[in-house]
Amino acid sequence: MFSSAGSFRARTLVSWVVAIAVCGACATPAQLADRGQGGGSAAHHPGDDPRVVQAAGARSRTAPYRGLGTWVDVYDSRQLARPVAAVRTMDRKGVRTLFVETANYASPRAVMHKRAMGRFIHAAHKRGLRVVAWYLPSFSDLRLDRRRSLAAIDFRTRRGQRFDGFGLDIEATTVRSVQVRLRRLLKLSHQIRRAAGDRYSLGAITPSPYGMRAMPRYWGNVRRFPFHKLDRIYDVLAPMSYFTYRVNGVRDVREYVHYNIGAVRRLSRNPRVLVHPIGGIADETSRREVRAYVKVVRRRDAVGGSLYDFPLTTRKHWPALRRIPAGPR
């Protein structure tokens, strides 16, 4: 999904450059265990056997994006230090998928915090949660971006378990030419799909259509963004529908999220495309706005939804968020 605008706060200069550029244009931003809507940790224990976990994950490439998700990036030190406790809390809140950043283009290693990644995967699979890796490419060095994307896809824990899916965070504006950036995006996407295989779950974490319409100099005219081509490569499209950067109030939040879901379906030329809209920065939204976001996710039959990110999601958010269904109906 991104290297989280807003939530990066003052973490690194690189992160801020990406966040300001993309969030100004749209908003940045990245699940299924067959549990009841209420969450909790009852009756969903695939166990530690990787064969069981992978067999369950192979049922559907869209499963990791369904229902309620939450996000962790490479700067969330508290969660990285205590993955098991973090997953336990996520499970209790009704989360179905953890989206965790393995690296970004400025990271010193292809997969950061390997030990924590393994613990996230083991703890999540034990409780029936999915784990999706995500990576932020620069598109200036496609070899590096390809290596790091595949490093996440090929990652294995000491028990032989792996991520249930991968998301490409499409937001960096390091390459100044929009046309060059778009060509490289498609090239990288095709490379990832070929390497991952047809059965592996892939998600495209895209800029917000509303944001591209408002500020086309970042990712170009929204009508020219290749949603329809990405739909042929990826299983789910996850627009970074960060309403906290654009609007305030229940009515405007509803209209913002409604527009983004509809625009992705229209521009992908596929009314049945599966959409997982990523909502606003959690600590910048109210309880009423979160309820409005969830209502649109439900009414528009989105496949799932999430706020960015887990450390910023507070007690006031979870009652509404856990009503996100593992849709669409």
78 CB contacts (<8 Å, ≥6 apart)?
86, 311
Please list the pLDDT of the chain residue by residue as tens digits (329 residues): 544 433 333 333 333 333 333 343 333 333 222 222 223 333 333 333 443 344 344 358 999 999 999 999 999 999 999 999 999 999 999 999 999 999 999 999 999 999 999 999 999 999 999 999 999 999 999 999 999 999 999 999 999 999 999 999 999 999 999 999 999 999 999 999 999 999 999 999 999 999 999 998 889 999 999 999 999 999 999 999 999 988 889 999 999 999 999 999 999 999 999 999 999 999 999 999 999 999 999 999 999 999 999 999 999 999 999 999 875 55
Residue pointed to by tokens 């490093």: 151
For residue 191, what is the enclosing H or E element?
Answer: helix 178-196
Q: Which pLDDT value is given to residue 33?
A: 27
Burial 59-70 (b: 16+ CB within 10 A, else e): eebbbbbbbbbb
96 CB contacts (<8 Å, ≥6 apart)?
31, 32, 33, 35, 66, 67, 68, 69, 129, 130, 304, 326
Give the domain ranges of the chain.
13-321
Beta bridge partners of 202: 166
Q: Quote the CA–CA distance of 279 and 264 in Å, as a whole number.
A: 15
Q: Quote the CA–CA distance of 42 and 166 in Å, as a whole number.
A: 27
Q: Quote the CA–CA distance of 102 and 80 in Å, as a whole number.
A: 11
Q: Please say whether the beta carbons of 169 and 205 come within 8 A.
A: yes
Q: Quote the CA–CA distance of 153 and 200 in Å, as a whole number.
A: 9
* pTM score, whole prediction: 0.84
Q: Which pLDDT value is given to residue 154?
A: 98
Q: Please say whether the beta carbons of 173 and 206 come within 8 A.
A: no
Burial of 34 (0-12, 13-18, 19+ CB in 10 A): middle
**SS3 (DSSP) at 204:** strand
Q: Which pLDDT value is given to residue 325?
A: 87
Residue pointed to by tokens 């100004």: 24
Please give the CATH topology (third level) of the domain spanning 13-321: TIM Barrel (3.20.20)
Q: Quote the CA–CA distance of 6 and 308 in Å, as a whole number.
A: 9
Q: Quote the CA–CA distance of 234 and 192 in Å, as a whole number.
A: 10
Q: Quote the CA–CA distance of 179 and 217 in Å, as a whole number.
A: 11
